[in-house]
Amino acid sequence: MTANTPVGPAALPPADSDSGFGELRGGNLGVRIATSAAEIDAVEALRYRVFYEEMGAVPGPETARTQRDRDRFDEVADHLLVVDHAIGPGAEGVVGTYRLIQRPAAERMGGFYSADEYDITPLTDFPGRVLELGRSCVDASYRNRAAMQLLWRGIAAYVFLHRIDLMFGCASLAGTDPDALADELTYLYHNHLAPPALRPRALPHRYVEMRRRDPATLDVRRVAGALPPLIKGYLRLGGFVGDGAVIDHQFNTTDVAVVVKTDLVTDKYYRHYERQVREALD
C-alpha cells in the first residue's frame, strides 16, 4: 500500500452497473458488491480502524480528521463487502472488504494503484481482462475461516462474472525491516517467482532485494506456514510474486507484488461455487 491522496466521498456505482452478482451467504454473513455511498464510507471507516488504529499506519492530516482510509481510486473501484446480517444488511453490518479495480477504471485514473510501487508493464500488456486487488481487511472480531472464505468466494464470483483472466496486487508483510523478514522474502522469491512474461519488478528507487538468505538453510514448511493468510491464499490459487519488495513506511509494511492467472484456479474451486454464482445472477 502507498500513501493516500485525500479526495471527497467515493462516488456511487452507476445505476446500470453490472458489477454486482447478488449476494452469496454463509450463515449470518453475506458477500456482495457495495451499492451505496454509505456502504463505501463504511468500507473506508473499517480500513482506517484496521490500517491506522490497529496496524500502526501513519495518517496524513485529512485522513486523521475524517478517520477514513480514502484515496482517489475508491471512486472508480468496485468494493467487495462482507456484511454481518445479525448487525444489519447495509453499511452498519460491514465487517470485511476488498477493493477491485478493472482496467477501464484504472485507465480513468491514469494507471493502476500498484504502479506507484512496481513496474507492472508485463501485466498491463497482458491481452486479457485484468483485475487489481487491494485494500483487503477484516474486522478483528471476524478474522476467522468463515469471513475469509466468503471474501474468496466473492472474488471467485466477480472473476466468473467479468471473465477476468489475470489478477494482481500488492500483499503486505508486517513491519519495515527486510532483514527481519529475510526468511519470508527469500522463500517467496525462490519458490513462487512469477515467470518473466508476468513478472512485475519493484521500481528502481523502491527496490528491496528479496534474496536475503541461502534458500537451502530455510525451514520451508515453517516459513510457508507463517506467511500472512492473504499471501497464503494467493499462493493456494497458483499465484506468483514479483521481483523485489517495497517498504511502505506510512503503512508499516513490506509489500510484495502478487500475480494470479485465473486459469490456474483449480477446476474444483470453480465447480464448487459455479452453481451458487449462477443462482445469484438469475
Q: How confident is the model at residue 281 (pLDDT cuts 50, 70, 90)?
A: low
Which pLDDT score, from 0 to 100, does residue 170 have?
96
Average pLDDT across the chain, whole number? 89
Which pLDDT score, from 0 to 100, does residue 215 have?
97
Q: How confident is the model at residue 42 (pLDDT cuts 50, 70, 90)?
A: very high
User: Has residue 15 got a pLDDT over 50?
Assistant: no
Contact 155, 82 (CB under 8 A): no
Q: How confident is the model at residue 11 (pLDDT cuts 50, 70, 90)?
A: very low
Q: How confident is the model at residue 237 (pLDDT cuts 50, 70, 90)?
A: confident
Backbone torsions φ then ψ of 261, nearest 5 degrees: -80, 125
Residues 6+ apart with CB under 8 A from 80: 31, 32, 33, 34, 97, 98, 99, 100, 151, 154, 155, 158
Of 132, 142, 4, 150, nearest to 63 by C-alpha is 4
Of 147, 133, 142, 127, nearest to 234 by C-alpha is 133
Exposure of 2 in the CB half-sphere (CA atoms within 13 A): 16
Lowest mean pLDDT, pick from 44-53, 73-82, 267-276: 267-276
- The residues pairing with 84 across neighbouring beta strands, listed in sequence order, are 29
- The fraction of the chain above a pLDDT of 90, given in percent, is 78
Which pLDDT score, from 0 to 100, does residue 10 have?
37
Which pLDDT score, from 0 to 100, does residue 276 have?
54
Q: How confident is the model at residue 266 (pLDDT cuts 50, 70, 90)?
A: very low
Please state which CATH number belongs to domain 24-281.
3.40.630.30
Backbone torsions φ then ψ of 144, nearest 5 degrees: -135, 180
Which pLDDT score, from 0 to 100, does residue 16 have?
34
The x, y and z cell numbers of residue 2, run together, are: 502507498
Residues 6+ apart with CB under 8 A from 255: 1, 117, 170, 171, 172, 173, 245, 246, 247, 248
Q: For residue range 25-41, what is the model confidence (pLDDT) as tens digits? A: 999 999 999 999 999 99
Range 127-155 average pLDDT: 93
Q: How confident is the model at residue 262 (pLDDT cuts 50, 70, 90)?
A: confident
Distance CA 163, CA 270 (A): 13
Distance CA 233, CA 59 (A): 28
Which pLDDT score, from 0 to 100, does residue 193 have?
98
Q: Domain residues of the chain, as ranges?
A: 24-281
Q: How confident is the model at residue 182 (pLDDT cuts 50, 70, 90)?
A: very high
Range 192-219 average pLDDT: 98
CA angle 26, 29, 35 (to 5 degrees): 115
Backbone torsions φ then ψ of 90, nearest 5 degrees: -120, -140
